[in-house]
Amino acid sequence: MSLPKVLQNLRLPVVGAPMFIVSGPELVIAQCKAGIVGSFPALNARPQHVLDEWLTRINIELDQHKKDNPDAIVAPYAVNQICHGSNNRLMEDMATCVKHKVPIVITSLQANKDVYEAVHSYGGIIMHDVINIRHTEKALSMGADGIIAVCTGAGGHAGTLSPFALIPEIRKIHDGLLLCSGSLATGGSVLGAQAIGADLGYIGTRFIASKEANADEGYKQMLVDSAAKDVVYSSLFTGVSGNYLAKSITAAGMDPNNLPEADKSAMNFGSGGNSDKKAWKDIWGAGQGTGSINDSPSIADIIDRMESEYKAAKVRISSS
Ligand SMILES: Cc1cc2nc3c(=O)[nH]c(=O)nc-3n(C[C@H](O)[C@H](O)[C@H](O)COP(=O)(O)O)c2cc1C
């Protein structure tokens, strides 16, 4: 099946994944100008009315860029909605998205019929993130247009299934838009995701170590200094299992090799959990792809490099 129209003209088959705190207008605009989809969680715009300001700015800057560079590939942007009872802004944020006709909405945690109807009312598309087949079936039955498989090794809240297992299983029940995430950090890994059946790669951690990301310089440097072995999977910090940089856990005064299990009653997606250190702010999320990050250049430079790697990987494979 062909890609939805809105995704047919990308420079590289990549969506920049939404990241709590890290993704704001600078990052999104840079990603779209570089030719990949940029996205941010609506909850990053605080208080709620700031979402309207961010969307206005993104639309104006991207429209201007298109006018100034008529031949450039400018990708669409996406807004991430956390569909969970703890998000009391959800429908207000949706009304703002409808006002701006946000081209793509990414839903996380629960598939939500009201959100889906709102997005479809103006012709937008929904991509829902999942960690297993049960979540996939549920989202598809509610009308999701695309599925994002959040596989093992992904930054932030992540699943435990290998993409080599999950992507083909999803393909058995869904021939539409499918994205693959978890540790993708190079152009070669994007081609790998396509080789196993995904249409697009969904990448978070690589973009934290960029000039435009809203992240502490120490966080960016820790990504450069860390490898896959330095990523710890724990439910302690938010009540949901996710991947974090071991060195940030140590810096917060805890032993990353001896973390207690989370108390589910303390589930809190934004922060907190069972320690006085805040997830995302003090305990830094990262996927295992951190081992492929060696610098923090601009998004334009990262995408130039990824595109060369992607093309080189294609040549390497087709000549082997
Ligand atoms: C610091 C951080 C914050 C994140 N915050 C969110 C979020 O607010 N909403 C969401 O749907 N996913 C969030 N994610 C998950 C990403 O959208 C994406 O699934 C993940 O980064 C992909 O794996 P990778 O980091 O290995 O590329 C976050 C990931 C990181 C690293």
Quick check: is 74 in a domain? yes
What is the structure's pLDDT at 20? 96
Quick check: is 234 in a domain? no
How far is the centre of ligand 1, averaged over its atoms, from the C-alpha of 116 (Å)?
21
Model pLDDT for residues 159-210, shown as the tens digit of each residue: 999 999 999 999 999 999 999 999 999 999 999 999 999 999 999 999 999 9
What is the structure's pLDDT at 195? 98
Quick check: is 194 in a domain? yes
Ligand 1 site, residue 23, Cβ cutoff 6 A: no
How far is the centre of ligand 1, averaged over its atoms, from the C-alpha of 181 (Å)?
9
What's the chain's Rg over C-alpha atoms? 18
Quick check: is 34 in a domain? yes
How far is the centre of ligand 1, averaged over its atoms, from the C-alpha of 271 (Å)?
14
Closest ligand 1 atom, residue 148 Cα:
19
Mean pLDDT of 136-146: 97
Residue 272 has pLDDT above 50, yes or no: no
Closest ligand 1 atom, residue 17 Cα:
17
What is the structure's pLDDT at 269? 45
Residue 105 has pLDDT above 80, yes or no: yes
Closest ligand 1 atom, residue 215 Cα:
1
Model pLDDT for residues 3-22, shown as the tens digit of each residue: 999 999 999 999 999 999 99
Ligand 1 site, residue 15, Cβ cutoff 6 A: no
Model pLDDT for residues 48-64, shown as the tens digit of each residue: 999 999 999 999 999 99
Ligand 1 site, residue 21, Cβ cutoff 6 A: no
How far is the centre of ligand 1, averaged over its atoms, from the C-alpha of 156 (Å)?
5
Structural domain containing residue 57: 7-216+288-318
Sequence-ordered list of residues with C-beta below 8 angstroms from that of 13, at least 6 positions apart, any chain: 190, 194, 199, 200, 201
CATH number where 31 lies: 3.20.20.70
Q: What is the mean pLDDT of the chain?
A: 94
- Give pairs for 129-135: CB < 8 Å, separation 24+: 129/181, 130/159, 130/170, 131/158, 131/159, 131/160, 131/161, 132/159, 132/161, 132/166, 133/166, 133/169, 133/170, 133/173, 135/111
Quick check: is 162 in a domain? yes
Domain total of the chain: 1
Question: Using CA atoms, how far apart are residues 88 and 152, in angstroms rounded to an integer?
Answer: 29
- Stretch among 64-73, 85-94, 260-269, 286-295 having the lowest mean pLDDT: 260-269
Closest ligand 1 atom, residue 150 Cα:
19
Quick check: is 261 in a domain? no
What is the structure's pLDDT at 275? 57
Q: How confident is the model at residue 83 (pLDDT cuts 50, 70, 90)?
A: very high
Residue closest by Cα to atom 30 of ligand 1 = 156
What is the structure's pLDDT at 262? 73
Closest ligand 1 atom, residue 21 Cα:
3
Quick check: is 176 in a domain? yes
In order of 87, 155, 266, the CA distances from 273 in angstroms are: 16, 18, 6
Pocket test for ligand 1, best of 15, 20, 150 (most atoms within 8 A of CB): 20
Q: How confident is the model at residue 260 (pLDDT cuts 50, 70, 90)?
A: confident
How far is the centre of ligand 1, averaged over its atoms, from the C-alpha of 280 (Å)?
10
Quick check: is 238 in a domain? no
